[in-house]
């Protein structure tokens, strides 16, 4: 059974639990980190809960200091000890960062704690026991903060700082069109609770390692391409470039923004090889040309203005050609009206 619940209902549900396991999506970004570690902090400090976050792969280096300790794995028996799994910012089961041992989907149903799915992705298809899925909300961290505020207890500064991190990063520091008046109201409430903006901004925007800056300079110099009168901008990251600068996309949350800052561009794409697949990131900066439907059409997902796809069974040239074709359709179709 799967049901949609409101924010106050989710708050009431969390208050009934003693042990909560928090999971988020693979390659966690600022919102994944912010929503989950903010909730861990809040549940521990304000609800007397035993709350843990499991991250099987290390999070981006820039958030390491803010996060502190976290679990990297649990056995299925340990997972079964939890009363509830709280899944944050994750649109589908395949993207849950849990590692095989913790995988709540493959665990036998009887030993699987029920799941509360809190997310803001259109097309979320997790179908947990309880679901708070609100695509109009800018960040999962905003939803987490609203759930906590519904419990009517003071928010710890650390939790407020984590949720501010998620809101700031998922709105591109309030530059993206997902920034609404309710986003700013929750942000104001978090600042009133002592959220540390300096700490958030320094971690998210002013902590780039030198090797990353040099990696980005060479990427733009050698790989950046424009098409369709400069309305589409894209780059492929060759394996050799990652190796040359010892750079990993785990820390690459902001790389695609370098492409879309170019004047006149509407859609940006960045793609690279990952094992036997290609990982594609897509961004739009014009609501007339959303990239979410394009991504979903190719088996990916995300938001209208920020989406991603994992493509299998293709080589680099085929990926480039496929994206050119699909982006042309998005730009062209809308051009005629
Ligand atoms: P990013 O480009 O930052 O990796 O992801 C942008 C958005 O697209 C995120 O909200 C993420 O949920 C979604 N996304 C990224 N990669 C994939 C993917 O391989 N599959 C699906 N379904 N969604 C993705
Ligand atoms: Mn998010």
- Percentage of the chain surpassing pLDDT 90? 88
Asked if the model's pLDDT at residue 103 lies above 90, the reply is: no
What does the pLDDT read at residue 335? 44
Asked if the model's pLDDT at residue 106 lies above 80, the reply is: no
CA–centroid distance, residue 302 to ligand 1 (Å): 5
Residue 258, domain CATH: 3.10.310.30
80 and 167, same domain (yes or no):
yes
For ligand 1, mutation pick of 235, 302, 312 (most atoms within 8 Å of CB): 302
**310 in ligand 1 pocket by Cβ < 6 Å?**
yes
Atom of ligand 1 at shortest range from CA of 89 = 12
Residue nearest to atom 6 of ligand 1 (CA): 307
182 and 238, same domain (yes or no):
no
What does the pLDDT read at residue 97? 86
126 and 75, same domain (yes or no):
yes
Q: What is the pTM of this model?
A: 0.92
CA–centroid distance, residue 229 to ligand 2 (Å): 31
The domain in which residue 161 lies consists of: 3-205
What is the Cα–Cα distance from 120 to 87, expressed in whole angstroms?
12
Question: What mean pLDDT is predicted for residues 108-120?
Answer: 87
Question: What mean pLDDT is predicted for residues 62-74?
Answer: 94
**Confidence at 333, pLDDT banded by 50, 70, 90:** low
168 and 48, same domain (yes or no):
yes
Asked if the model's pLDDT at residue 101 lies above 70, the reply is: no
Compute the residue count for the chain.
Answer: 337
Asked if the model's pLDDT at residue 137 lies above 70, the reply is: yes
Nearest to 215 by CA among 179, 186, 248: 248
3-state DSSP call for residue 205? helix
Residue nearest to atom 9 of ligand 1 (CA): 302
Which pLDDT tens digit goes with each residue over 242-259? 999 999 998 998 999 999
Residues with CB under 5 A from ligand 2 (ion): 31, 89, 140, 170
**284 in ligand 1 pocket by Cβ < 6 Å?**
no
99-108, 200-209, 264-273: least confidently modelled range:
99-108
Atom of ligand 1 at shortest range from CA of 123 = 22
Asked if the model's pLDDT at residue 99 lies above 90, the reply is: no
What is the Cα–Cα distance from 163 to 36, expressed in whole angstroms?
9
51 and 191, same domain (yes or no):
yes
- Which domain-ending residue is among 158, 174, 205? 205
- Which domain-ending residue is among 205, 226, 257? 205
233 and 171, same domain (yes or no):
no
* CB of 31 closer than 8 Å to CB of 59: no
Residue 20, domain CATH: 3.90.1640.10
- Which domain-ending residue is among 149, 184, 205? 205
Cα-Cα-Cα-Cα dihedral sign, residues 319, 232, 218, 245? negative
189 and 138, same domain (yes or no):
yes
Element spanning 282, H or E? strand 277-284
173 and 28, same domain (yes or no):
yes
Q: Give the distance between the most distant pair of CA atoms in the chain.
A: 58
194 and 214, same domain (yes or no):
no
**Confidence at 337, pLDDT banded by 50, 70, 90:** very low
Domain count, the chain: 2
Which pLDDT tens digit goes with each residue over 294-308? 999 999 999 999 999
277 and 138, same domain (yes or no):
no
What does the pLDDT read at residue 127? 86
Which pLDDT tens digit goes with each residue over 166-216? 999 999 999 999 999 999 999 999 999 999 999 999 999 999 999 999 999
Which pLDDT tens digit goes with each residue over 49-66? 999 999 989 999 999 999
Question: What mean pLDDT is predicted for residues 211-233?
Answer: 98
Asked if the model's pLDDT at residue 133 lies above 80, the reply is: yes
Find tokens 């619940």 and name the residue: 5
256 and 216, same domain (yes or no):
yes
Q: Percentage helix, strand, coil, to 5, in the chain?
A: 45, 20, 35
Write out the two tokens for 223. 């790989």
CA–centroid distance, residue 46 to ligand 2 (Å): 24
What is the Cα–Cα distance from 3 to 8, expressed in whole angstroms?
14
Question: What mean pLDDT is predicted for residues 14-18?
Answer: 97
Complete DSSP assignment for 93-131: GGGB--HHHH-TTTS-GGGSPPEEEEE--TT-----SEE
Atom of ligand 1 at shortest range from CA of 307 = 8
Q: Cα angle at 282 between 276 and 284, to 5 degrees?
A: 175
86 and 20, same domain (yes or no):
yes
What is the Cα–Cα distance from 204 to 63, expressed in whole angstroms?
8
Question: What mean pLDDT is predicted for residues 309-334?
Answer: 93
CA–centroid distance, residue 25 to ligand 1 (Å): 9
- Percentage of the chain surpassing pLDDT 70? 97
CA–centroid distance, residue 136 to ligand 2 (Å): 11
């Amino acid at each position: 059974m799967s049901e949609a619940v409101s924010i106050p209902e989710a708050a009431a549900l969390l208050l009934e639990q003693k042990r909560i396991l928090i999971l988020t999506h693979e390659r966690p970004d600022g919102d994944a980190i912010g929503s989950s570690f903010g909730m861990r902090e809040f549940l521990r400090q304000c609800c007397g809960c035993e709350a843990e976050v499991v991250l099987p792969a290390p999070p981006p280096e820039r958030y390491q200091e803010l996060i502190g300790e976290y679990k990297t794995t649990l056995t299925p028996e340990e997972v079964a000890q939890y009363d509830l799994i709280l899944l944050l910012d994750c649109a589908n089961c395949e993207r849950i960062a849990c590692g095989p041992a913790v995988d709540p989907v493959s665990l036998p149903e009887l030993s699987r704690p029920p799941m509360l799915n809190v997310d803001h992705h259109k097309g979320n298809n997790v179908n947990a026991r309880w679901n708070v899925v609100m695509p109009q909300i800018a960040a999962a961290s905003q939803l987490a903060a609203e759930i906590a505020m519904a419990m009517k207890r003071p928010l710890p500064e650390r939790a407020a700082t984590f949720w501010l991190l998620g809101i700031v990063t998922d709105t591109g520091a309030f530059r993206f069109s997902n920034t609404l008046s309710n986003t700013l109201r929750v942000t104001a409430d978090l600042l009133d609770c002592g959220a540390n903006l300096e700490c958030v901004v320094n971690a998210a925007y002013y902590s780039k390692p030198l090797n990353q800056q040099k990696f980005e300079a060479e990427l733009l110099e050698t790989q950046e391409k424009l098409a369709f009168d400069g309305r589409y901008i894209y780059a492929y990251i060759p394996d050799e470039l990652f190796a040359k600068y010892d750079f990993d996309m785990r820390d690459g949350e902001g790389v695609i923004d370098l492409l879309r800052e170019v004047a006149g561009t509407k859609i940006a794409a960045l793609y690279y090889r990952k094992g036997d697949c290609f990982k594609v990131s897509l961004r739009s900066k014009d609501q007339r040309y959303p990239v979410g439907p394009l991504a979903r059409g190719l088996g990916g997902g995300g938001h209208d203005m920020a989406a991603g796809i994992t493509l299998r069974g293709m080589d680099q040239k085929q990926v480039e050609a496929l994206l050119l074709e699909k982006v042309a359709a998005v730009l062209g179709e809308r051009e005629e009206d």
